[in-house]
Structure 1
Amino acid sequence: MKKGDLLYELDPTPFINKVEAAQIALEQAKLSNQQLDAQIAAARANLRTAQYTARNDKVTLDRYQRLSTMQNVSQSDLDKVRTTRQTSEQSVSALNAQIQNLLIQRGERDDKRNVTLQKYRNALEEAQLNWPRTKVRAETDGMVSNLQLNPGIYATAATAVLALVNNNTDIVADFREKSLRHTAVNTDAAVVFDALPGQVFPAHVTSSDAGILAGQEAVNGQLSQPEQSTRWVRDAQRMRIHVALDQPLDKPLPTGARATVQLYNSEGPFARTFAGLQIHPVSWLHYVY
Structure 2
Amino acid sequence: MTPEQKFARYVRLSLTGFILAFIYYIIADIWLPVTPQARVFHPVVQVAPQISGRVTQVLVVNNQPVKIGDLLFEIDNSSYLLAREQAELAVAEASLQNQQIDTKIKALQAQISAALAKQHEQELLKTRGEKLYQQDSLSEQKLENIRASFVASKASVTALQAQLDEAMLARGEVGKHNLALRHAENLLAQAQLNLSRTQVRSRVDGVVTNLQLLEGAYALRGSPLLAIVANNADLVADFREKSLLNMQPGSLAKVVFDSLPGQVFDAKIMSFEAGVSEGQLNANGLLSSTDTSNRWVREAQRQRIHLALTHNPELLQTMPSGARATVQLLPNSSLGQVLASMQIRFISWLHYIY
Q: 2:146 aligns with which of 58, 81, 86?
A: 81
C-alpha deviation, 1:92, in angstroms: 0.2
Match of 1:98 among 163, 168, 171: 163
CA–CA distance in structure 2, aligned partners of residues 158 and 15 of structure 1: 17
CA spacing shift, 1:182–1:72, aligned 2, 3 Å: same
What is the TM-score of this pair, normalised by structure 1? Answer: 0.83
1:188-234 Cα distance to aligned partner (Å, 9 max, x none): 222333444444333332332233344444456x5873643456655
Number of the residue aligned with 1:48: 113
Larger relative contact order, structure 1 or 2 (CA cutoff 8 Å, min sep 6): 2
1:172 aligns with 2:239: no
Shift of the 260–283 alpha-carbon distance from structure 1 to 2, 3 Å rule, reads farther
Secondary structure of the structure 1 residue equivalent to 2:100:
helix
Q: Aligned runs of 1:92-241 on 2, under 5 Å?
A: 92-109=157-174, 111-219=175-283, 222=285, 225=288, 227-230=290-293, 235-241=299-305
1:269 maps to: 335
State the secondary structure of the residue aligned to 2:66.
coil
Question: Structure 1 residues 28, 280: CA separation in 2 closer, same or farther (over 3 Å shift)?
Answer: farther
Are positions 1:69 and 2:134 aligned together? yes
Q: Deviations over 1:101-129 (max 9, x none)?
A: 111221222x1333332333333333334
AA paired with 2:179?
Answer: V
CA drift of 1:279 comes to 6.1
Runs of 4+ in 1 over 6 A off after TM superposition: none
Cα distance change, pair 283–44 in 1 and its aligned pair in 2 (3 A): farther
Matched positions, count: 286
Is contact 1:195-1:287 (8 Å) kept? no
CA distance in 2 between partners of 1:112 and 1:181 (Å): 65
Percent identity between the two aligned chains = 40
- What TM-score does the superposition give when structure 2 sets the normalisation length? 0.70
* Gap change, CA 1:171 and 1:82, over 3 Å in 2: same
1:170, CA displacement in angstroms? 1.7
Q: CA deviation at 1:145?
A: 0.9
User: Structure 2: any 5+ residue segments left out of the alignment?
Assistant: 1-64
- The alignment yields a C-alpha RMSD, in angstroms, of 3.0
